[in-house]
Structure formats: C-alpha cells, structure tokens
Amino acid sequence: MSLRINDEAPDFTANTTQGVIHFHEWIGNGWAILFSHPKDFTPVCTTELGYMAKLEPEFTKRNCKIIGLSVDPVDNHTRWVKDIEETQGYSVNYPMIADSDLLVAKLYNMLPADEAGTSEGRTAATNATVRSVFIIGPDKKIKLMLTYPMTTGRNFDEILRVLDSMQLTATHKVATPVNWKSGDDVIIVPSVSDEEAKGLFKEGWKTLKPYLRLVKQPR
C-alpha cells in the first residue's frame, strides 16, 4: 500500500544499535525523522550519516529525534560508525535500525521496483533501501516524504529547513514562500480574512495581491 502525507506512520518493532525499539513509543510526544540508506560501508552513505550526526543537536533543539535504517545487521552498523567518525569528524549517536528481514523497508516502500525480496547476498545496487526520508509529527502522522536515487546524496539542511517550516505553520496561520529560511517573512494563509489577520498580526502586513500577504515571521 502506498503511503501518503497525513497517513499514520506505520508502527513497528525493530532491532537497532541502541536496542529494540517500538517506533511510536520511541517517538513519544515529539517529532521524528526516519531515513534509510542503501548499504553500510559505502561512500555516499558515509557522508550522509556523518552529516546527520553533525546536525543532530539542531534537530534535538526542535524536539525532533532522528533514526537511520538499512538492511545491514547491527554489528555492521556498529563497525561502520567508526569509519563515519574517522572520515566525517562526527560520532553517530542516534540509533540505526537493522532491518534485515525488510519489515520496515516494505512498510515504508523503501525498496526499489526491482528489489529481490531478500537481504541475502545483496549489494548497494540490488535489493537495497533507497534514500528515503520521512518526517513524522507528534500525532504520528507522516508530514513529509522524500526519495533520492542511489547516487545522489541528500541535502539534510533542506530537511531541517522544512522541519522549521512545518513546526511554524502547525502553530500559526501562515505558509512559507519559496526558499524560505527561519526568520524570513511568511505568507498569511488565504483562509484568514483581513479582519481576522488584524487580530493575529498586529504589526500589519504587506499586500502584494489579495491572496498574497507577507508578514513578519511570528514568534
């Protein structure tokens, strides 16, 4: 079954580098990012997980946990993190799921169309979890889904930017424009009338079109 935004994120129990987790219970009352990579001990994945280790404090500030996944076993993950720290300069302190039975990969449609259905004897190009990213809200609903090809490393700064946008727009009646970054002006959503906006945005706003009203980012 295909997943869509606002579907409930499938729950699961899995073995990780930090022990067995029950996914919804592990998320708790905050946000979570579940991201998969094709294979341990491969070059692009090494740079990605190292960068996520660097960004983890920023996600923590935003009450957001991060967790990685591939179909490699826990002992491979554990040995690989030493390479990640050595080459990328950051220690992986977030858990990594060992999805050797492909349970989570299948639940979240993380396998390419030509996957073989078993992790035995696979390589980074065959039967591998693609570079998927899921952001999950405190309500356990999927808020974002991204999938990248095997050869293209992800931009995790963009994931952080999107998280800022979603957390802002979840609590204020605004949307964020193209290339928005935290602190930039935002857009008053069209469902808010000018009369209602006067009470919400007391410093006023700039009207470019009746449907395009720019206002300072609410705090």
Evaluate whether 35 touches 132 at the Cβ level (below 8 Å).
yes
Of the candidates 27, 45, 102, 215, the residue annotated as catalytic is 45
98 contacts: CB under 8 Å, gap ≥ 6: 14, 15, 16, 17, 70, 71, 72, 73, 74, 76, 77
64 is catalytic: no
CA-nearest of 61, 105, 54 to 84 is 54
Residues forming beta bridges with residue 186, ordered by sequence position: 215
3-state secondary structure of 159: helix
Q: Which residues are catalytic?
A: 45
